[in-house]
Structure 1
Amino acid sequence: MEGVDTPTSLGELASRAPQDAAARDDLLRRVRDLAVRYARVRLGRFGAEDLAQDVAQEVCMAVLTAVPTYEERGLPFEAFVYRITARKVADVQRAAMRGPTPVGDVPDRVDEAPTPEAAAVVRDEAATALSLMRRLPDAQREILILRVAVGLSTEETADALGMSTGAVRVAQHRALGRLRTMIAELEAGDVA
């Protein structure tokens, strides 16, 4: 980037964002990416893409509002973003459970999205995966979501959850082992 040394952490960007438009823009881009990935996973059964985009926008607005007065309290900025995103996702899940949402106008052209059958297969596979993940302890499930779906590193996940990197690695290993066992049982017909 034309000789500019880009900060690597969200915390560095957050500290510069109130005075530096480029840092603010980079911070919001990275926060949005994290929020979209996390929300897609957590909102899969509710029509993830549109809702994930909405959540990401709300997270960005919350971060933008909070940055001028944000004070570090021993946790990385990623943990702050994770808490905001988790709360926004929970709000969307509660709203989705309350009832259907109205749709826009009837489209003018053919929908080139996957067929209903293909979408049903993907939803069924995703529902199976989410069902198996729900059987994991909460901490293991969150670690898998942050590591696999959101794409955080072990260190970022540890910071976001307030754990050591070793604890994250052990919990991830146990969670993946348990998922393998559950999938094998499912394929063998031992689990309903």
Structure 2
Amino acid sequence: MIRAVDPELVRNAVQGDRTAMAALLTEVHPGLVRYCRARLGRVGGAYTTADDVAQEVCLAVLRSLNRYRDQGVPFAAFVYGIAAHKVADAQRAAVRDAAVTPTDAPLERPDAAPGPEQQAVSTDLARRLSALLDRLPDAQREIILLRVAVGLSADEVGAIVGMTAAAVRMAQSRALARLRTLADGSLDEVAA
């Protein structure tokens, strides 16, 4: 999760310090993975696409560091702006490539992954949650993802989406209430 990144670390990374760049990516990568997984979900029961997109975001952040200017907005706003664009690109590509179904090579050793039943339950729950999130307005969905999936504070999310922390909390409250109404017990059917 991207918490208040040390401004000195960002400054050094922007100036081309490779050690600072590596430390900066180490800091932002886990939150980006959670964000991309929440936005893109599983494809074929795995998060491979979301993880690849998170990696692309990291590369884009590195390439864009020289254009970053501290304007009083948290560095996370810069990073999640890039992430939102990369996720949108991946979603467009997924729609374009939906007809192509890759085949996996047979496993040479036993698979330690969850069995078919657990995968089906998890995939169904993820599908239901994704469908519910898709029914929210874009701003509310983004706030829920950044607050719940990524774990950012209301202040951090506010800086990213251009709202006050109080407005973020209010929008989050409204979004959660709307999700409860939309779900209306439909998620209770899924076994844990």
TM above 0.5 = yes
Residue matched to 2:56 = 58
Once the two structures are superposed, the pairs formed by residues 1-192 of structure 1 within 5 Å of their partners are 8-9=4-5, 11-17=7-13, 18-47=15-44, 49-97=47-95, 98-99=97-98, 100=100, 102-103=102-103, 105-184=105-184, 186=186
Question: Which stretches of structure 1, 4 residues or more, deviate above 4 A after TM superposition?
Answer: none
TM-score, scaled relative to structure 1:
0.84
Contact 2:57 2:86 in 1 (8 A): yes
Change (3 A) 1:187 1:52: closer
Contact 1:144 1:175 in 2 (8 A): yes
Structure 1 alignment gaps of length 5 or more: 1-6
Change (3 A) 1:80 1:106: same
Read off the aligned partner of 1:169 and give its amino acid letter: R
SS at match of 1:83: helix
**Paired residue total:** 183
Contact 2:35 2:146 in 1 (8 A): yes
Contact 2:40 2:50 in 1 (8 A): yes
Contact 1:79 1:160 in 2 (8 A): yes
More relative contact order, 1 or 2 (CA 8 Å, 6+ apart): 2
Residues 131-151 of structure 1, C-alpha deviations (whole Å, 9 max, x = no match): 111111211111000000011
Alpha-carbon deviation of 1:23?
2.4
TM-score, scaled relative to structure 2:
0.84
Alpha-carbon deviation of 1:101?
5.0
Alpha-carbon deviation of 1:93?
1.7
Q: State the identity %.
A: 51
| 100-109 vs 25-34, which moves further | 100-109
Partner Cα distance (1:24, 1:147) in 2: 26
Residues 128-169 of structure 1, C-alpha deviations (whole Å, 9 max, x = no match): 111111111211111000000011111111111111001000
Change (3 A) 1:108 1:36: same
What is the alpha-carbon root mean square deviation over aligned residues?
2.4
Contact 1:32 1:60 in 2 (8 A): yes
Partner Cα distance (1:49, 1:141) in 2: 20
